Amino acid sequence: MKTGKMTIFEQTVARENEFQLATYKKMPVAAVRGRGAWIETSGGERYLDLYGGHAVAATGHCHPHVVEAIRAQAGELLFYSNLVYSEVRARAAEKLVSCAPVGITKAFFCNSGTEANENAMRLARMGTGRENIITFTGGFHGRTADAISATFLGKYRELGRPNVPGHMCAEFGSIASVAALADETVAAVMLEPIQSMAGVRQAQSEFYYMLRELCNERGMLLIYDEVQTGIGRTGEWFFAGSDRGACVVPDIITLAKALGSGVPVGACLTTEAVASYIKENDLGTTFGGGMLAMAAVNATLEAIERDGMLENARTLEEYLRESLKGVPQVARVRGAGLLLGLEFTDEIAAQVHQVLLGERIITGTSSDARVLRLLPPLCLQRAEVDLFVDALRRVLSVL
Ligand SMILES: Cc1ncc(COP(=O)(O)O)c(C=O)c1O
C-alpha cells in the first residue's frame, strides 16, 4: 500500500479497510489515548465520549487505579487457568458477590457478554432439566449461536440462522404474553431489564415483580442480562435488587462491558440453589478468570466505590434531566442513571448523532430512530453535561 503523502489517520483508515472485515460502520476518528470522559485522536483532537466505547468505559478511560492494577498484575502473572487457585481471582469473585443483591452468592467468569448469556441459559437448562427459554421483543443478548437465537431485536436473529431451537418470544412489558408461553418446557425467562439497543426501554416496575412471581409459580429461572445495566450504570451496582426494578432478585445475572474497564471479561452470578446443580466440568472456558482480567475487575469495582461513582451517576442523571427540560425537540428522557435515551419528537437521532460528532461529541444511536443513547463514563462531570447540552441546543436549533 502506498502511504507516502497520507496523514496517520488516512493511513490507518486505508489499512483497516484493506485488512479488516468491514463489519462496523465507523466514526471518522482514530482513537489513540483516553482520559476520563475524553478520547484523543491521531490528529490530536479531543472528543467528549458520551458513549464510553459501547458502555465499557464506566470508570472513564484509563482510570489511574485500573491502569496501575493492570500494569502491576502484568508484571506478576498474566494468566493461568482455573486449574489453579489465584488470590486475585478469589478477591474478584468475593467482591463481585458482595456488591450483588442478597441471595446472589456465586460467580462464574468468562470473557464477554454473549458468552455470559450462553452460560446463563445452560445453567438454567441444567438446573431445571427443561430446554426452552423465553426472551422478549426488543431484547439483545449477543451474537453467538444461542444468544443470537434469544435475540428478537430487529434482524439480528436472522443473522444467526439456522437458529438454536428452544427459543420463544414474549412481548416486553406484558406479563400475559409470558404467562401464555410459560409451560413445563420452559427453563428460564431472560431479559435486559432496561432494553438498551431497542432505545432504552424500561417496563413498569410491576412487570419485574410479576415476572418473579410467575417464575416462582411455574418453576422457571429468571435471568437478568445486565451486560449493559450492571456495574453501576443505573446508579446502583445492579438493576437487580434495586428500587427501580421493584427490588426483584433474579436467579442469574450476566455481566460484561464495564466489568473490566476495557479488559475483556464477562460473568454469570447466581444463587446457592442454582450452584448446587453444577458439577465439575459442566461449564468451562480457557480464559475466564485469568489474572489480568481479574486484576481489572478488582480495580474497576474499587475505583467505582472509592470515587463515589454510583452516587455520581444518580446525581448526574438528575442534572441531565433538569438541564434538558425545555429543550423543545426532546419529548422524554428514558432510562436510569447514566444509561439514558433522549427521545426526540421526530426520527432525528442519527442526524443529531452525526452533527454532534462534528462538534466532537460522541453519542450513540439505537434501533429506535427517535432515540439518542448516552452511556458515558460514571465519572462524568457537570461541566461535561453543560458542554453536551449547549451543543445539543445549537444542533437542534438548526435541524
Ligand atoms: C444487553 C447485552 N447483552 C449482551 C451483549 C453481548 O455482549 P458482547 O458483545 O460482550 O458479547 C450486549 C452487547 O452489546 C448487550 O448490550
Report CA-CA distances (Å) from 354 to 3, 28, 342, 360, 399: 28, 10, 15, 10, 12
Query: Are residues 131 and 164 in contact, defined by beta-carbon separation less than 8 angstroms?
Result: no
Q: Is the CB of 113 under 6 A from ligand 1?
A: yes
Q: Is the dihedral of CA 241, 247, 251, 255 positive or negative?
A: negative
Which ligand 1 atom minimizes the distance to the CA of 195?
1
254 CA from centroid of ligand 1 (Å): 10
Our CA angle for 376, 380, 385, nearest 5°, is 90
> Cβ(114) to ligand 1 under 6 A?
yes
Q: How far is the CA of 328 from the centre of ligand 1 (A)?
A: 33
Helix locations, the chain, DSSP H:
8-19, 52-55, 64-76, 87-99, 113-128, 145-149, 156-159, 175-181, 205-218, 272-275, 291-306, 309-324, 349-358, 382-398
What distance separates the 2 farthest-apart alpha carbons in the chain?
69
Q: Going by CA atoms, what residue is nearest to atom 16 of ligand 1?
A: 228
Alpha carbon distance 149, 143 (integer Å): 8
Pick the residue whose CA is nearest to atom 3 on ligand 1: 141
Which pLDDT score, from 0 to 100, does residue 156 have?
Answer: 97
- Give a three-class secondary structure readout of 42-100: CCCCEEEECCHHHHCCCCCECCHHHHHHHHHHHHHCCCCCCCCCCHHHHHHHHHHHHHC
DSSP code, position 195: E
User: How many Cα atoms within 13 Å fall on the side-chain side of residue 36?
Assistant: 11
List the residue whose alpha carbon is closest to atom 7 of ligand 1: 113
Q: How many angstroms separate the alpha carbon of residue 149 from the centre of ligand 1?
A: 13
Pick the atom of ligand 1 nearest to 117's CA: 4
**Strand-pair category, 266-271 with 252-255:** antiparallel
Which ranges of the chain have pLDDT less than 70?
A: 1-3
Looking up cell 453501576 gives 232
- Number of Cβ within 10 Å of residue 328's Cβ equals 10
Spacing, Cα 43 to ligand 1 middle (Å): 31
Ligand 1 centroid to residue 141 C-alpha, Å: 6
238: three-class secondary structure by DSSP: coil
Tens of pLDDT, residue by residue over 273-299, are 999 999 999 999 999 999 999 999 999
CB of 108 sitting under 6 A from ligand 1: no
CB-ligand 1 contact for 196 (6 Å cutoff): yes
**Full-model pTM:** 0.98
**Ligand 1 centroid from CA 347, angstroms:** 25
Instruction: Give the closest residue to 226 by CA, choosing from 118, 141, 348, 164.
Output: 141
Contact 38, 61 (CB under 8 A): yes
Contacts of 152 (CB under 8 A, 6+ apart): 135, 136, 137, 138, 139, 169
- Tell me the CA distances in angstroms from 319 to 54, 57, 76, 127, one per residue in order: 22, 21, 43, 44
Q: CB neighbours of 12 closer than 8 A, spacing ≥ 6?
A: 30, 42
Please report the pLDDT score of residue 4 as a whole number.
Answer: 77
112 ligand 1 Cβ < 6 A: yes
Distance from CA of residue 108 to its chain's centroid?
17
Query: How far apart are alpha carbons 395 and 387 in whole angstroms?
Result: 12
Report how far ligand 1's centroid is from the alpha carbon of 66 (Å): 22
Give the model confidence (pLDDT) of 95-140 as tens digits: 999 999 999 999 999 999 999 999 999 999 999 999 999 999 999 9
Which residue has its alpha carbon closest to ligand 1 atom 8?
A: 113
